[in-house]
Structure 1
Amino acid sequence: MLIDPRRIKHCRHCGTAVDYRVPDDDNRERAVCAGCGTIHYENPLNVVGTVPVWGEQVLLCKRAIEPRYGFWTLPAGFMELGETVAQGALRETTEEAGANIELEGLLTMLSVVRVGQVHLFYKARMLDTALDPGPETLEARLFHEHEVPWDEIAFRTVRETLQHFFACRRAGSAYPLHCGDI
């Protein structure tokens, strides 16, 4: 499913129907209010999360919400206004897994153009194994690489992030930032 490029129907300022056209001094179609002239820009949403690590294990969460109810994912979600990428990743990890972590560095940045999102995952060190999953999570648990339920991973960005993490670990290398498009 592709993002509908004409999602805005009415002006957020005055409520008048918008027209899609290329404004002066621009190079692409935008939602332009026929009443007040406000130009409405639509930009990708950021999904932020972590790869929480305890020894040789990674923490995964079983989703209690759609999409992909009952599938496993890394703790992640939409970044909120007023927070940094790092703050959002910490918040999402706390909300979804109840894990106490310390961020170690950005691990992956994946563009998901068809749904208008950018997914950013940090490598994180778990400070203990206490977990208190929130309402969006059925279960949170630690997995060794050979135990990861690969056929039950919720999203391609999570699969690619985990594959990058484990490949770096097996190689005994640093964890360089992996960028890609999905």
Structure 2
Amino acid sequence: MHFSRRIEHCPMCGTRVDHRIPDDDNRERAVCPACHHIQYVNPLNVVGTLPVWGEQVLLCRRNIEPRKGFWTLPAGFMELGETTEEGAARETDEEAGAQIEMQGLYAVLNVVHAGQVHLFYRARLLSTEFNPGPETMEARLFHQSEIPWGDLAFRTVKLTLERYFAERDSGQFDVHCVDIT
């Protein structure tokens, strides 16, 4: 399977790479014929939160592609030097300007075709004042009946919200692992 992040040139010396299975490996890699550097392309982590205020959840309307104008949970790519929880909190602040208290890992979604793993944490909002960053048109709270289900940006968000609402009344939240095929 080839992803859009396919490597064409060696990041060490700039030589055009060969795509082959290296010795002592079991899958195709980008191998430099000049310096012999092997480049590994691994999934990207998308981290975010499911922020809650009472019976409402916080959604952000995207101001960037992909899916500009659609609603999502605050999330984005994890950065080097941070934990998944730190990245989720940072993305929530950057996208919604929301202050939260983390409440634990809630969903791990393997988006194999995109080479991504999405991790969502449950979070309790500490206030209803939001200050969205440039990637967000609007951040607002929704009751379950108000969720714009047809205008959600990503399937991972829809599945996470569906599972949350199914468990909310019991107050018992499992960690969900889902494969998006």
Q: TM-score range by the shorter chain?
A: over 0.9
Whole-Å Cα distance in 2 between the matches of residues 81 and 174 of structure 1? Answer: 32
Alignment-derived partner of residue 32 in structure 1? 31
Stretches of 4+ aligned residues off by more than 6 angstroms: none
Whole-Å Cα distance in 1 between the matches of residues 2 and 53 of structure 2? Answer: 37
Which letter maps to 1:109?
Answer: V
Whole-Å Cα distance in 1 between the matches of residues 15 and 58 of structure 2? Answer: 47
**Where in structure 1 are there 5+ consecutive unaligned residues?**
none
Q: Secondary structure at the match of 1:118?
A: strand
Alignment of 1:137-152 (within 5 A): 137-152=136-151
Identity, % of aligned positions: 66
Alignment-derived partner of residue 69 in structure 2? 70
Q: TM-score, normalised by structure 1?
A: 0.96
Alignment-derived partner of residue 174 in structure 1? 172
Q: TM-score, normalised by structure 2?
A: 0.97
Whole-Å Cα distance in 2 between the matches of residues 65 and 23 of structure 1? Answer: 39
Which letter maps to 1:156?
Answer: R
Alignment-derived partner of residue 118 in structure 1? 117
Distance 1:163 1:18, change over 3 A: same
Which letter maps to 2:138?
Answer: E
Whole-Å Cα distance in 2 between the matches of residues 84 and 140 of structure 1? Answer: 24
**Where in structure 2 are there 5+ consecutive unaligned residues?**
none
Post-superposition CA distance 1:112-159 (Å, at most 9, x none) = 000100000000000111100000000000000001000000000000
Q: Secondary structure at the match of 2:109?
A: strand
Q: Aligned residue pairs: how many?
A: 180
- 1:130 lines up with 2:134 in the alignment: no
Shift of 1:3: 4.7
Shift of 1:7: 1.1
Whole-Å Cα distance in 1 between the matches of residues 108 and 3 of structure 2? Answer: 23
Q: Secondary structure at the match of 2:27?
A: coil
Alignment-derived partner of residue 13 in structure 2? 14
Tell me the C-alpha RMSD between the 2 structures. 1.2
